[in-house]
Structure 1
Amino acid sequence: MKHLISSTAMLMVTTNLAYAQTPAVPDNLEKLSNFQSTGTTEFTVIEQKGEFADGVKKNLERIKLPDGFKIELYAIVPDARHMAVGPQGIVTFVGTRKDKVWAVTDRNKDRVADEVKDFAPSLQFSIPNGPCFSKDGFLYIAEQNRVLLFPAAEFFYESPDVAAFNLVKKGELIPPEHESFNHTARVCKIGPDGKIYISLGQPFNVAPAESLDTFKEHGIGGIIRMNTDGTGREVYTYGIRNSVGHDFHPVTGELWFTDNQVDGMGDDIPPGEINRQTEAGQNFGHPWYGGGSIRTTEYEGQEIPVEVVMPAVEMDAHAADLGMTFYTGNMFPARYKNAIFSAQHGSWNRTTPIGARVMVTFIDDEGKATSEVFAEGWIDENGEYLGRPVDVAQLRDGSLLVSDDLAGALYRISYEGN
């Protein structure tokens, strides 16, 4: 019996095969830095309608939110990871752990993306997970071992060739001998001091003692900051295992960040973390602590040689807290103003899956923080993942985007209640 395949499904299969077989493009950064054409003319454009999109929409019917909120499919974006919303509200750039950065555009402003295409297709990216914007429109993309700068990205993105420059040259973000396949998803944010802050996850489950001095020197297992011209690099944060989300409190300017705990210690320990940093140079406990106050087996009983700042909030073990943002919009009820929305990617090192949800963390006037579930339902009754949230970003209208690298999608959460 012959199986009939719809034209839409065939188109998606063909597109996916073409994407998988696309040969690596040469690194044209030098040409682009000199405003020279590379000869690139084609984009990879992602179909936004059809059976795949309908399937994602169907899964969203399962998502539970507080009263008055709704979630909708905003865009199909393969491997969607961290997001940077353009200051002019024209385009949202979405990083991946592969070799693509996607430009997502809602041209008619109906709050659904009309176009998703690859950004700067003439460039060869390497794990461009972390895009971030300065307020005056400069786009930065933190890769595995490089940081790129794109002036006027919201203007140039319509062309395959874009103005592009090194902020940190390839091989200089971390020493090349410490490059790894593990914990290489960088994120970045511009701080209230105008500097760029970049997280550098260390590659081990528990960092070995013989690596600690080198890691401390370069900021591996920490967060570094530098001027937006690449000068003045310094280590700002120490004692992190693998942070893949940070932001600055809109009122105090303090740095808050998520951190992923040590694996292999059991289903319910150690806890995940949301941390609050009040001054430069503070240490948050890795590798002596695996998460919260739980000591790692490798360093158990050893004297801790630094003063450790404990987490502001302990999260569920292995839920994998990743991207986060402070909410500054006016769409949501007042109680959400200046709260943290954060994405939990979901557990792998647990007998019963947990996470795959969006959390909200409220901070009182004294800095005390408490967290609760905001959006959940991406794990079904069989324990199967229907999606894995990665990052949360705010659109100019005050709604939230949530990225999902399993479904390959962006979702928009809006509020319509009284």
Structure 2
Amino acid sequence: MKHAPLSALLICMSGLALAAPTSDEALERMRSMKTTGQSLDMKTVPQDGEIADAIRNNLERIKLPDGFKIELYAVVPDARHMAVGPSSGVVFVGTRKTDLWAVTDRTKNRTADEVKRFAPAISFTQPGPCFSKDGFLFVAEHNRLLVFPAAEFFFEGPDVAADIVVPTGELIPTDEESYNHGARVCAVGPDNKLTVSLGQPHNVPPKDKAELYKQHGIGGIVRMERDGSKREVYATGIRNSVGITYNPTTQELWFTDNQVDGMGDDIPPGEINHAPKAGMQFGMPWYGGGQVRTTEYAEEAPPEGLTFPVVETVAHAADMGLMFYTGKMFPEKYRGGLFSAQRGSWNRTEPVGARVMFTPFAADGSAPSGETVPFAEGWLDEETGEYYGRIVDVAQLKDGSLLVSDDTAGAIYRISYDGDSN
């Protein structure tokens, strides 16, 4: 009987030893505080060269109020929702693909030095990050919810402390998984509970889905303990919210919602909504945005007690991420106000959006004190209709400057103020 040469056996065994674990296997190993065998030479994104130069050139188009300036903070492919680490200031950036990025400004010169793939052994599905005040990074995916304790400490290496909050296939029923409206966003509220928005996959949800969607919070916002227990449907009647935040003054929830497509250029309006308590219903499917009735439910009487938006925005601008400004860098008029992102229209003969909006708020944080107006704009060429970027989210750095994500250019911008802040 012939035996394989020892060298061949060693090569075979070496190959088995070096076989990379699957994403699920890697997650389980990290849950047990074990290594995954990933290389320490992690994937990074170059921060110089032609792409960075082109993005900087495009920023010359952007219009801002006097005293403000905008600069390239980081080249981040497919950059969407951002979560700023409460301890380190490292910015974790989600995408609509499989990557979650860690963006680091090591020199504190207000420009990123490194953009690196976070937890490279895990293949995410449209990750949307958010932080708790005590430094736990939660990642809401299309149909899973993960948590990374001490992410700001472990992100330097490929293996990170990890756990599962909601297992794969249990955030929504698997039969309701869709390529449409599948991106999730999250926030940890002042009650220390985890809040997650769940867009519904239709333009207007069909009537035979009503009970199922109400039960699971699809087309709504759900709330749960940080370990995934005690899940409840917090709000319903929402088409697709891709921006939720808590007002630090009132401790109450605000969110954007995207309106129904196919009804014309100017209707229905986009929405900024206020949800101070659980159980509120925000109009879908009877209303497609604001108080514009949907064609599909035009003959059906809406139930009583619906809540309409506090702010109606221009139709089809695609209102996305939002945040209340708590810094001191910007002038007094901006403090306590709401910054929000409009990604830009597709369902419009005359394009609109691709800008950062600002809504001033009363000192007590209870309601807007003025109209919503453009703050940073110019990514849309109004003459040609060409987009030079599409704006997704806004976040605040510790110095009070504003970060803005652009998933089309693949970048994060930083807006700062160097005028009189009084």
TM-score by length of 2: 0.92
> What is residue 45 of structure 1 aligned with on the other side?
44
Distance in 2 between residues matched to 1:138 and 1:114, nearest whole Å: 23
Distance in 1 between residues matched to 2:21 and 2:130, nearest whole Å: 25
> What is residue 322 of structure 2 aligned with on the other side?
324
What amino acid is aligned across from residue 37 of structure 2 in structure 1? G
1:149 to 147, 150, 159: 147
Query: Shift in Å at residue 44 of structure 1?
Result: 1.4
Distance in 1 between residues matched to 2:180 and 2:223, nearest whole Å: 22
Aligned 1:363-378 pairs, distance under 5 A? 363-364=361-362, 365=364, 367-368=367-368, 370-378=371-379
Aligned 1:236-275 pairs, distance under 5 A? 236-275=234-273
Kindly indicate whether residue 74 of structure 2 is the aligned counterpart of residue 72 of structure 1: no
Aligned 1:194-343 pairs, distance under 5 A? 194-343=192-341
Query: Shift in Å at residue 125 of structure 1?
Result: 1.1
> What is residue 15 of structure 1 aligned with on the other side?
none
Distance in 1 between residues matched to 2:312 and 2:361, nearest whole Å: 14
> What is residue 11 of structure 2 aligned with on the other side?
none
Query: Shift in Å at residue 338 of structure 1?
Result: 1.2
Distance in 2 between residues matched to 1:332 and 1:363, nearest whole Å: 15
Encode CA deviations 1:91-134: one digit per residue, 9 max, x unaligned: 11000010000000000000000000100001121111x10000
Distance in 1 between residues matched to 2:221 and 2:240, nearest whole Å: 10
What amino acid is aligned across from residue 255 of structure 1 in structure 2? L
Query: Shift in Å at residue 230 of structure 1?
Result: 1.2
Query: Shift in Å at residue 84 of structure 1?
Result: 0.3
What amino acid is aligned across from residue 91 of structure 1 in structure 2? V
Encode CA deviations 1:295-321: one digit per residue, 9 max, x unaligned: 000000211124210100000000000
Query: Shift in Å at residue 324 of structure 1?
Result: 0.5
Unaligned runs of 5+ in 2: 1-19
> What is residue 390 of structure 2 aligned with on the other side?
388
Distance in 2 between residues matched to 1:73 and 1:388, nearest whole Å: 15
| Amino-acid identity (%) | 63
Distance in 2 between residues matched to 1:388 and 1:400, nearest whole Å: 16
Q: 3-state SS of the aligned residue for 2:336?
A: coil
Aligned 1:41-120 pairs, distance under 5 A? 41=39, 42-120=41-119
Contact 1:80–1:410 at 8 Å: present in 2 too? yes
Distance in 1 between residues matched to 2:368 and 2:72, nearest whole Å: 34
Q: 3-state SS of the aligned residue for 1:406?
A: coil
User: Highest Rg: 1 or 2?
Assistant: 2
Distance in 2 between residues matched to 1:211 and 1:79, nearest whole Å: 32
Q: 3-state SS of the aligned residue for 1:231?
A: coil
Unaligned runs of 5+ in 1: 1-22
Distance in 2 between residues matched to 1:207 and 1:43, nearest whole Å: 43
> What is residue 137 of structure 1 aligned with on the other side?
135
Contact 1:82–1:323 at 8 Å: present in 2 too? yes
Equivalent pairs counted in the alignment come to: 395
Which shows bigger deviation, 40-49 or 57-66? 40-49
When residues 308 and 57 of structure 1 are mapped into structure 2, their CA distance, relative to the original with a 3 A threshold, is same
Query: Shift in Å at residue 86 of structure 1?
Result: 0.2
What amino acid is aligned across from residue 160 of structure 2 in structure 1? V
Distance in 1 between residues matched to 2:195 and 2:333, nearest whole Å: 28
Query: Shift in Å at residue 89 of structure 1?
Result: 3.0
Distance in 2 between residues matched to 1:277 and 1:181, nearest whole Å: 27
What amino acid is aligned across from residue 67 of structure 1 in structure 2? D
What amino acid is aligned across from residue 403 of structure 2 in structure 1? L
Distance in 2 between residues matched to 1:180 and 1:278, nearest whole Å: 30
Query: Shift in Å at residue 179 of structure 1?
Result: 0.4
Q: Give the ranges of 4+ consecutive aligned residues of structure 1 lying more than 3 Å apart after TM superposition.
A: 23-26
Contact 1:79–1:406 at 8 Å: present in 2 too? yes
Encode CA deviations 1:233-266: one digit per residue, 9 max, x unaligned: 0010110000000111111111110000000000
Q: 3-state SS of the aligned residue for 1:61?
A: helix
CA RMSD of aligned residues (A): 1.2
What amino acid is aligned across from residue 264 of structure 1 in structure 2? G
Contact 1:24–1:124 at 8 Å: present in 2 too? no
Query: Shift in Å at residue 26 of structure 1?
Result: 3.2
Encode CA deviations 1:315-347: one digit per residue, 9 max, x unaligned: 000000000011001110111111110100000
What amino acid is aligned across from residue 152 of structure 2 in structure 1? E
Distance in 1 between residues matched to 2:292 and 2:90, nearest whole Å: 42
> What is residue 399 of structure 2 aligned with on the other side?
397
Q: 3-state SS of the aligned residue for 1:37?
A: coil
Distance in 2 between residues matched to 1:256 and 1:202, nearest whole Å: 19
Q: 3-state SS of the aligned residue for 1:103?
A: strand
Contact 1:221–1:242 at 8 Å: present in 2 too? yes
